[in-house]
Amino acid sequence: MPAGVMPAGDAMVPWPQFTERQIRAARGAKQAVDAARPYAWLVESECGPQGQVADVATVFLTNRECPFCCLMCDLWRHTTDTRVPPGAIPQQIDFALAHLPATRHIKLYNSGSFFDQQAIPPADYAAIATRVRSFDTVIVENHPRLCGPRCLQFQDLIGGQLEVALGLETVHEQVLTRLNKQMTLEDFERAVRFLRDQAIAVRAFILLRPPFLDEQSGIEWAVRSLQFAFDVGVQCCVVIPTRAGNGILDQLARAGWFAPPGLPAMEQVLEAGLALQRGRVFMDLWDWEQFSACAACGPLRRDRLQEMNLSQRVVPQVACARCART
């Protein structure tokens, strides 16, 4: 079958492609946010690079919306329309740390790119570094095309290990183009090699079943994406089940171009990723309930996925008489 088309009866129907204007027009309203406060903060457990499980403080910073209008993204819900004033981001970090227990690792996630100077003012880097210098690891997220001198500047300031999380999404190039990621696989590889050459750790975000792929293809391309990420030097991969609810994905779902994956797909991809034994692989379990079709075994299967996340090994499957799953 030609790339970028799906069968519809006797005809071959090309995959739709949307402009930024169309993606934005399909959105609902943003949530009210306060530039002086992060919009969320929490502590989560994660398996570290040496196999140890440690608590990680995660701060979801409030800042300007990402300029890359990706088809699948819903992070714009908690962003501002304009750049936050200088000093706001350090103030947000102070607020979060005052409400969180002490940890050795911290994630500063900002619904976009940390090194987008319209999101996180570079003038605040020194003040931010002062607040995170006691952490062993500082993890931020960033678009591959925005990896450059500002990454090195911030790394020098924090003292500890900087880790940059990059959205690879998928190595299916026709799907990647339609996600409006504004990035090629070459861009991703270039960013990884730049960061690794500077002793900056790298993790990748990978989508499980993005639009235009059925369940089995979604599984296969997620595993291919894991392999590519490790091939180019990524040390840790986070697989994210693609979720509806951002407007344009709901339109695609109604048209038959998108459906979220199920828990079995999440299990298969995590099992395959761990079997590679090339780096840490995590399955994102946020809102896991929407991917579960069985109330009897769903919570047990979620617990199994979390155990595999923390242990980085495949554990026995859950048997369920109700859904005949063994």
Residue 1's pLDDT is 41
Q: Quick check: is 310 in a domain?
A: no
Q: How far apart are CA 243 and CA 207, in angstroms?
A: 10
> Does 313 map to a domain?
no
Mean pLDDT of the chain: 94
Confirm if 170 and 134 have CB atoms less than 8 A apart.
no
For residue 117, what are its two tokens?
């100077």
Judge whether 167 lies within some domain. Answer: yes
Give 35-64 pLDDT, tens digit per residue. Answer: 999 999 999 999 999 999 999 999 999 999
pLDDT confidence of 3, banded at 50, 70, 90? low
Number of domains in the chain: 1
- Judge whether 55 lies within some domain: yes
User: Is 236 among the domain residues?
Assistant: yes
Q: Which residue reads 């690079």 in tokens?
A: 49
Tell me the whole-structure pTM to 2 decimals.
Answer: 0.94
> How far, in Å, are 36, 207, 271 from residue 118 at the CA level?
16, 26, 39
CATH number at residue 258: 3.20.20.70
Q: pLDDT by residue (tens digit) across 260-287?
A: 999 999 999 999 999 999 999 999 999 9
> What integer is the mean pLDDT of 143-156?
97
**Domain boundaries, position 130:** 16-294
CA 291 – CA 242 distance, rounded (Å): 10
